[in-house]
Structure formats: C-alpha cells, structure tokens
Structure 1
Amino acid sequence: MSTWKETLFGDPFAVEGDEIDETAQSEAELLAKGNVFEQPAATRGELWGYYLYYNGDNGFTMNSYMPNILQSLAYMGGFYYDGNTTAQNCNNMPEGAVCYVPWAGGSIPVASMLLYIQAIAFSIQFVLFTTFGSLGDYGRWNKWILLSATIIGCASQIIPMVWVNNDGSQWNGMMGMMCIALISYGASLVFYAAAFPLLADNLPVVRKARFDPNVSREDYVLVAEKWRNNVSAISTTFSNVGFLIVTAVLSGASFAPWEKYDFPDGVAHILGNAPIFNYIATVFCGGFWIINAIPYFLWVPAGRGGPQLPPGENHLTIGWKNIISSLREARKLRYLFMYIIAYFIFSDAVNTLNSMIGIIQGQITSFNGTQITILNLVSAVCSIIGCLAFLWIQRWFKIRTKTNLLIIIVLTAIVPIWGSIGIGSTKFGIHNTWELWVFYVWSGIFIAPIWAWQQTMLAELVPKGKENLFFGLFGVVNKASSWIGPVVIGAITQSTSNLWEGWPFVLGLFLIAIVIIFFIDVDKAKEDIRLYLLENSDEASVNGQEKSIHSVHDTDRPVSAKDEKFV
C-alpha cells in the first residue's frame, strides 16, 4: 500500500525507460484503455501551471468585496421612505428603515436587487454552460475559452476601481460588472475542470501503463485513478492555499495606517476601515489571479485538446441531449434519482444561505473591509479543520457516508433556524457582529464539508462507467437550482421589506432534503446498480457490441465549489 508521502509527493514523471512503444499493443487493446485519440504527454510545466491557476482562481472577491462594493454604492444611490412617504437618501437612514433602488420601472429593496442579480447570473450560466460546455470536452477550444474567461474575470475585478469616488449614482454600472464577474468566474471553473482528465491521463507514468502490454486494463485503471485523485486533491489544496494567502495578505494590509478619509469618531484610522479598502482588495484579487494564471497558458503543450465531436452532433445541442440522456438513465436507478432531487434542493439551500449572509454581513459591518477579510480568514482555517475532522470521525467511528452527510446537513440547517429567530428580534438572529463570528466558525467546520460528502455520496450511487455522465449532470443541477432560492428570497424581501422573512423558506428546503436522503437505502441502491449493469451488459451482447468500459474520460472532475462554500 502506498504511503501518504508517496500519494501526495510521488513523481508522475519518474518512469522506467525513456521510450514508450505506442505500437506494442493492438488498436483494440489501446481502445480498451482509453487511447481513443492522440495527445501530447503532460509536462511538469503544464502540471504546475494547472495547480497555480487554481491558486489564483479562488473566487474570494466574487463573494466578498465585490458584493460589498455593489451594496455600498446602492445604499449611497438609494432612498428610503420617511413617515410622510417622502423619498430620502439612504446615507442618513434611521435604524430599521429599508433602502430601495429603482428597478424595472418601480423600486425594490437593495437586498432584493443583490439576490436578483445573483439569480440572473446563475440562470445565464446554466444556459451558456449547457449549450456551449461541450467546447471544453471536444476539439481545441478549451484553452482559448478558459483564457477568455480568465481575462474577462480578472478585468471585471479590476474595473470597479473606477467607482471608488462615486456618489452612488452609478450603482447600476457596478451591478452589471458584478453579473459579468460571476459569469466569467463560473466559466473559468467549468473549463478549468474540463482540462483535468486530459492532463491527468497523459502524465508519463499513466501513459507508460497505457502503452505497456504487460499491464492489464484493470491495473491500468488503478494507475489512472490514483493519479487522477492525486491531481484533483493537490489542485483543490492549491485553491485553498490561494484563498489563505489572499485573506492573510489583505488582513495584514487592512491594519495599515490611513489618513485619507474622514473617519467617524471612535473609528481607528486604518486602511481597512476606509471604503477604498474594498476596491483595493478586489484589484489585488484580480492581479493575484492574473499572476497565477499566466504559467498555465504558457506551458500547456501544443496539441492538447479533446476528441472530435461525434458524427451528427453539434455543440449547441449535445449538452442538452446529454442532460436528457442522463435523466433517463437516472430514472432506472430509483435511489440515484432521489438523490438528484435532494441535491437539487439542498445545494440551492446552501447557495441561498450564503447569499443571504453576504448581504447581512454588509449591513452589520457597514461594509468594513477589515472585518470581512478576517472573517473569511477564520472561515478558511475552520473549513480545513472541519473537512479533516469529519474525515477522522467517519474513519474512527466507521460512520457511513449517508449518515455523515445527514449529520452535516442537519448541522447546516441550524443556521436558518437561527436566522428565523431574527424575524421578530434584533437582539439575536444574525443581527450582531459576534453572531457573524459564530457563523463563520460554524460555516467552516460544519457547512464546508457538505460539498466533499455530497460528492462521495454520489460516487456510491453511480454505476461504474457512468461517472462522467452523472457528475456532469450534477454540475448542471447545481447551476439550474442556484437561481431559485435567490429569486424566492428576493421576492419575499420585496414583499415584506425584511430579508429575515426568507429564512423559513431556506429551512424548509433543508428539511425536505433531509427527509429524502433519510429514505435512500444505499445497500439496495448498490443492488440496483448491479442489476442495471448486468442488464446493460446483456443488451450490449445481444446487439453485438462490446461491454461498456470505464474510459479515461469517464472520470471524476475536481470539485470547484468555492462560490458555494465561501460567502
């Protein structure tokens, strides 16, 4: 058995022999190992460039400083109604009043606007990625689309600096920039993930096993799986490292002395307490992404790309056909289909929860950059602790994946219960700074692990050889569900002028998901999978076709859920 050092630090470029005889096996044997098209071997530069890219593309500012800037500009440009129903500027708004902005010929609360813009961005992502996502898997488009998304994403983080001295009259310009930033960031995650199997499966050690006639297909699958897991784990680690670097640097910078602002009495004269810090921070995040992205585009080998589009297919329809196909297959597996429904519900609940906290924290902290940065630093550290803690608990007490996932979701559902208390009280119910501290610790320890265990649960319910189909479906489900919660909460806030009125809806989503997952029988699900594979195998034999194989492209993609995990 490999040691943890060999697993994490093994060298995929250290292979015995310099030459690989690609003619040593027949075409049928190579096809069984996934050699369906020629690819250049991965290089150290490409691998490290891939890791560094995720280091920079950590999504921090998308869920912290940019919403802070948009919300603060909207408050400066917005208005509230006094007792005489006269519109007054929100700058001197009394406690308990609601700030509004113009919207579609009328007006809506700022909180509703922030939720609606996120819903719009997610719905656009769903349509775009379902329609054009195949460009990442077929042909040579992936690199160029990823490059374009990176340029647009970095630019959208830097451009807000033009509004640093704005009086709020151009808040809608920042709203548009926020929408572009969310879409480009989502695109970067999708097409970054699409590059993963081609890189991992062409590491020299994997190619050596593929072309070695003495290595069976089963042994080759084990080698390929080991290095796919290795690349996925390390790239995800780099993303978290990048998140820690950014929060640590900006936390330190926020305490720098600053006198170029008229601070209120009793407020320390430091950079983090001045509005400009949010603008400086998002520019820093954009620059950090650029620096870390450059090596990948310089070092990816020429010729890296996917297979040709299947005959009779086109990029505009193949994504939608795959969704229909995967749903048809899922209906044959009742417990997998139940889990798809549960995932649709609880992923929307978690995303909506994070969106609401993002708005609430801006109101509580008055958009203070220092507090937001330090809170996220605490969340990053606690996220690592939480994932490791649940992993240790599961192994030590031999807890099954389903039980662990249920525990995590139940603990996450405590947050909307907590928030619901705040409907009728301003003393408790996520209304205070100390409650934000509790939330960020709670979020890191108990909410962040949800994305790791939901994937493990899916892996237990997916038939072997269908991983790519169903993991792709779950990516679509996540995007498809992400807009529903923000729209509903935005409408509730618009109707009641109270964001906290939305917490019971979020709680309801969690409760429904918990009930569905509770009734999933994993043991019976595995028996269903066995019968499903046997049936498919028999059908293939009757039709004179080869049995379904687990090709190198039917792989688990790296999880990129930072936009859901960090608020």
Structure 2
Amino acid sequence: MSDVLKSTNEEPEKLHIDDLASDHSSETTTTRKELWSYYLYYVGNNGLSGFNFGPSQFQNLLFLAGYDPTQEPFTAPCNDNGCVLPYLGRVRDINSIVLLTNGISFAIQALLLLTIGAWADYGRWRPNITIFFTLLAVGVSFGWLGVDKPEQWRAGTALYILGLIAYQCSLTFWTAAFPGLARDLPDVKQSLCEVNASEKSVQDHARLASLSRNRVSNISFAVCSLGEVIILAVMVGILKGLKSDESTQNNTKAFSVLIAFSGGVWCMVAILFTFLYEAEPTMAVLCALPWFFFERRRSGLTLPPGTTYLTIGFMQVYAALRECMKLRQTFLYLLFYFLMGDVLNTTVTVIGTLQNSVVAYSTLQLTLLLIVGIVAQGLGIYLFWLVQKKWKISTKAMVSFNAFWIIILTIWGLIGVHTDKFGFKHVWEIWLYQVFYGLMVCPWYAYSQTMISEVSPSPQMFLFFALFSVVGKTSAFIGPFVSSAIITASGNNDNMPFAFLFGLLFFLWMVDVEKSRVECEEFIMAEGDRAAFKTHDLVAA
C-alpha cells in the first residue's frame, strides 16, 4: 500500500518525444459538445443488455431447459443436485456451458479485431464500425423479445454470442477515441504551446497530459454509472408492472423485456441530447447516439503500399510484433495486461454464474443488486479520480493499487473451493461483492485503458490499442475455456477455477512501466522512418 501511494515522490512521468515534436499536428480542438456526447455514448452502451441481463437470461434458460444429472436425462428438473445439458458433443454443467460460450464469443471477437481493428488507424472507418456494431447491439437487444421460453435456449445461445460481440466491439472502437479527445483538449494544447515556447517544463506538461487522459476516462465511467442507476430504477418499475416475482414464466419474460429496454435506451439518450444541443433529430436518432453526430473526424493514416483493408490488420499486428520486440518493458506490460485481463474477466464471469444461481435468477433481485453495484462503481471511480487529481498520483500507481484488490477478489472466490460457508455461496456475499467490486475493482476498467495510452508511442497509438485489444480478447476467451474445463474435471465444482486464476497473479509484479516509457521514446526516434510506422501521410478521417 505504501509503495503505491508514494508515487507523489516519484520522478515525474516522462513525456513522449512526439508529444512535443508534433503532437500529430492536430488542428482539431475537443469541444464541450463532443466531449459530453462521448460521455453519453457510454450511458447508452452501458452493458446492461449484452453484459448483464443477456448472460443472466441465457443462464436462466439453460437452467429451465436442463435436467438433474442424478436422474435419467430430461426426466427431472434441475435442483440442488446440479443442472446439465448436452452441448457441443457432451453433457455439461450449465455454468460450464456459459463459460464455454463466453470463450467462443471472445474468440470471434479476437478474430474480428485482428481483421478490422486496424481500421481505426486508417481513413474514415472507425466511426462507421462503431455505428455498425451499435445498431447490431440494439437489434440483438430487441431480438430477445422473441426468446423467453426454455425450449428456445439454442436461439438464446446465438443472441448471447452476438450480443457480447456487438457490445464489446462497439465499446472497443469507442474507447480508442479517448486519447485523441484528451490530446486535443484546449488546456492540453495550450500547455503544449507553452512548452514549445519554453514557458513550461516538459515534466509539468507530462503531468497535465496524463491527468487529462485519466480525467476523460474516469469521468466517462462516472457519467455512465449515474445514467445506469437511473435506467435501473426505471427497470424496477417495469418489473413491478410485469409482476416478475409471481411466476417463473413472468420472471423469464421480464429478462427479455429488460434487455430490450436497455437497447432502447440508446435512442432515448440520443433524443435527450438532441433537445439539449438542438442537434438534427433525424441524424441523431438514426445513428442511435449523438456521439456519431458530434464526433470530430480526426486525421488517420493512409494505407501502406501493397495492403488492403482486409489484410492491414494482420500486417499491422505482424509489424508491431516484428518491430517492437525492442520495447521489452512495453511487452512486459502487455503480459501484465494479458494476465490481469484473463484474471478479471474470468473471475467476474465465474462470480456472475454463481450469483445467478444464488439469487435463483430473480430479475428483481439482480436489478437491485446492479443498482447497488453501479452506485458503488460510480463512487469508486470518481473517488479514485479525486484522490489521483489531488495528490498527482501516477497512472501506474493507480493500476497497481487496483491489482491488489483484484487479488483479494480472487482469494475470496478461492476460499469457496473447500467450504460452503464462504466464497460467493450466500445472498449476503453477493450484496457485499457488488459493493466491493464497484468501489475497489471497477476503476481498473478506466485506468487499464489509460495505462495503454501512457506506455504506447503516440504516433502509433491506435496500432497499440488494437494490439492490446487483441491480447485482451485472447485472454478473455482462453480464461473461460480453461475455467469451463476445470469445472467439468473437478466434478462440477464451480469455485475451482479461482485456483487457476489466483496462480496467474504472481506474474504481475515483473512490469517496470518507467523503463517502458524510456524505451518508447527511443523507439520513436529509431523507428520513425520505417514504412510500417510512418505518420506523416495523414488523411482526413
């Protein structure tokens, strides 16, 4: 703890050389409208449909369609003896099915990001891709209205996979925009001018640039949390109207209604923003969110000779791996990001399956739990930001502090392997988990993204974001596959994957981010003329 908080006495974080040399020569200034439309996008893409209620409804349908493994197949409903279904060639525990399906979804996401992830660097593609995946996510959300019966669990599987892909891909391309937004903030651009005029030190500008990236990232999460609380409060009213607790049938139908409502919120946010800023209503609603209307089209790279949009993604990753091996500390951070992403993604997925079982798939219980969790999340992220802002704590220190609490979360689940008294086995633990997760763990999602921008060469920012995204998705689908196999091999012990997750955490302490920053500076100077990393051929994006 003391090592983390002593960052105020550390040597100031170094500024990337290219930040002073050109800073992409950006003539675009981030406006208030653009910044707030960026924040509001996250209120719409809040994950309630694809990341929260979608998985819960999927698992609920599996439970209702499954059977007791101690009896003849499909002769007795699921109970305390377990719940299994035939899936992909063998009979599996339904929690194992959820994890395996998660792995399939994340594998598809990784392939997509390898193919189209690089388009964020080139031409006009990134906004169009975000629009496509946003509309797909909304369409999938409304598609759940037709899937609310146990025998439709196979259709639910398809919607679950599509929903996760659409949610994660739209989120990835939205996230990739924040370093540019922070770089073009008026105070950051003014600070850069002062440095060039020898009126401000490089170190002071570095602190401001770093804090600005953290500000955009953290406030977007805090605004999302506030919006989610309002949405969830409305959902409680919907559940009361549907009388979700009166029968299993009502509860299952309520899941699908909530997913559709969450998708519809994207249009509601657009209409609200239209009134606030007098935007063109047709355009705002058509594109689902004002972000698509107010986003400034910043410069992108031209395609290198001999490449196409279908091949550039694979060539870009190959070039990064070939050219960047000298960035040893950056690749150590890449390893850190891979392992931490694997630990956290899989831990949350495993806890989610346990949570659904503990509360018996009650839509009302899950909604109330989410309200508590989202309130805690908003408080946690904003408090982390206030502390960082007041004491000028480095991003590295904030990430390290987050890692400590993720370790605690994993140990919590690990205890449940050999006891039924603790380890996400009781309703009170689930309530406590929501508070703990929101306050102490959720800031990771903001700081881990900011950290990528801190250790990546600025001219190739999108390239490295794509590389880190692919690595993140790879870890996300490997973890569920391994966890699913562990559950099956351990006699359907749903807590056993925590042992695997805890073991991975010992690799995290190898990363020296400060050395990574120095290597990035040297890399920019040494590799600036190579074709794979040219930055002077910019086109209007």
TM-score, scaled to structure 2: 0.78
C-alpha distance 470-170 of structure 1, shift in aligned 2 (>3 A): same
Contact 1:60 1:285 in 2 (8 A): yes
Contact 2:457 2:524 in 1 (8 A): no
Aligned match of 2:73: 87
C-alpha distance 505-535 of structure 1, shift in aligned 2 (>3 A): closer
C-alpha distance 308-208 of structure 1, shift in aligned 2 (>3 A): farther
Contact 2:333 2:513 in 1 (8 A): no
Kindly indicate whether residue 159 of structure 2 is the aligned counterpart of residue 177 of structure 1. Answer: yes
Aligned match of 2:494: 499
Aligned match of 1:288: 265
The one of 215, 218, 233 aligned to 1:248: 233
Aligned match of 1:190: 172
C-alpha distance 297-76 of structure 1, shift in aligned 2 (>3 A): same
C-alpha distance 409-101 of structure 1, shift in aligned 2 (>3 A): same
The one-letter code matched in structure 1 to 2:269 is N
* Counterpart mapping for 1:143-542 below 5 A: 143-164=127-148, 166=149, 168-194=150-176, 232=217, 234-254=219-239, 256=240, 262-263=246-247, 274-293=251-270, 294=285, 295-296=289-290, 299-300=293-294, 306-391=300-385, 402=396, 404-455=398-449, 457-458=451-452, 461-462=455-456, 465=459, 467-495=461-489, 496-510=491-505, 512-513=506-507, 516-517=508-509, 519-522=510-513, 525=515, 529-530=517-518, 533-534=521-522, 537=525
Contact 1:464 1:550 in 2 (8 A): no
1:533 deviation in Å?
Answer: 3.4
Contact 2:68 2:79 in 1 (8 A): no
The one-letter code matched in structure 2 to 1:364 is V
Contact 1:146 1:192 in 2 (8 A): yes
The one-letter code matched in structure 2 to 1:357 is I
SS in 2 for 1:79: coil
Q: Which moved more, 1:366-375 or 1:420-429?
A: 420-429
The one-letter code matched in structure 1 to 2:144 is P
Root mean square deviation of aligned Cα: 4.2
Contact 1:45 1:299 in 2 (8 A): no
Q: Structure 2 CA distance, aligned partners of 1:404 and 1:205?
A: 23
Aligned match of 1:108: 92
1:147 deviation in Å?
Answer: 2.4
1:303 deviation in Å?
Answer: 7.5
The one of 66, 70, 80 aligned to 1:78: 66
Aligned match of 2:47: 59
Encode CA deviations 1:113-143: one digit per residue, 9 max, x unaligned.
1111111111111111111123333233333
Q: Structure 1 CA distance, aligned partners of 2:147 and 2:518?
A: 59
Contact 1:240 1:380 in 2 (8 A): yes
SS in 2 for 1:107: strand
Select the structure of larger CA radius of gyration.
1
The one-letter code matched in structure 1 to 2:378 is I
SS in 1 for 2:85: strand
Encode CA deviations 1:455-495: one digit per residue, 9 max, x unaligned.
45555544565544433322221112110110011111222
SS in 1 for 2:92: strand
Encode CA deviations 1:245-288: one digit per residue, 9 max, x unaligned.
2223223444x365687549xxxxxx9x8333222211110110
Contact 2:214 2:447 in 1 (8 A): no
SS in 2 for 1:58: coil
SS in 1 for 2:419: coil
The one-letter code matched in structure 1 to 2:49 is T
C-alpha distance 452-159 of structure 1, shift in aligned 2 (>3 A): closer
The one of 123, 131, 134 aligned to 2:118: 134
Q: Structure 2 CA distance, aligned partners of 1:336 and 1:205?
A: 28
Contact 1:465 1:550 in 2 (8 A): no
SS in 2 for 1:34: helix
Q: Structure 2 CA distance, aligned partners of 1:174 and 1:363?
A: 18
1:154 deviation in Å?
Answer: 0.7
1:228 deviation in Å?
Answer: 6.8
Q: Structure 1 CA distance, aligned partners of 2:360 and 2:82?
A: 14
C-alpha distance 280-551 of structure 1, shift in aligned 2 (>3 A): same
1:189 deviation in Å?
Answer: 1.5
The one-letter code matched in structure 2 to 1:292 is V
Encode CA deviations 1:399-429: one digit per residue, 9 max, x unaligned.
7655553443232222232223322322322
Percent of aligned pairs sharing the same letter: 31
The one-letter code matched in structure 2 to 1:34 is H
Aligned match of 1:558: none
Aligned match of 1:10: none
Contact 2:301 2:538 in 1 (8 A): no
The one-letter code matched in structure 1 to 2:232 is T
Contact 1:75 1:90 in 2 (8 A): no
Contact 2:34 2:296 in 1 (8 A): no
The one-letter code matched in structure 2 to 1:145 is I
C-alpha distance 378-260 of structure 1, shift in aligned 2 (>3 A): closer
1:299 deviation in Å?
Answer: 3.0
Encode CA deviations 1:177-202: one digit per residue, 9 max, x unaligned.
11011111122113323555677778
Q: Structure 2 CA distance, aligned partners of 1:324 and 1:544?
A: 14
Contact 1:423 1:500 in 2 (8 A): yes
Q: Structure 2 CA distance, aligned partners of 1:452 and 1:339?
A: 16
Equivalenced residue count is 497
1:380 deviation in Å?
Answer: 1.5
Show structure 2 runs of 5+ residues with no match. Answer: 1-20, 271-284
The one-letter code matched in structure 1 to 2:257 is I
Q: Structure 2 CA distance, aligned partners of 1:144 and 1:548?
A: 24
C-alpha distance 183-404 of structure 1, shift in aligned 2 (>3 A): closer
**Higher normalized helix content (fraction of residues):** 2
Aligned match of 1:14: none
Contact 1:77 1:90 in 2 (8 A): no
Q: Structure 2 CA distance, aligned partners of 1:209 and 1:282?
A: 45
Encode CA deviations 1:193-246: one digit per residue, 9 max, x unaligned.
355567777889999999x9x986999x96995987765555444323322222
C-alpha distance 315-204 of structure 1, shift in aligned 2 (>3 A): same
Show structure 1 runs of 5+ residues with no match. Answer: 1-30, 265-270, 554-567
TM-score, scaled to structure 1: 0.75
Q: Structure 1 CA distance, aligned partners of 2:219 and 2:520?
A: 34
SS in 1 for 2:495: helix
1:505 deviation in Å?
Answer: 0.9
The one-letter code matched in structure 2 to 1:69 is Q
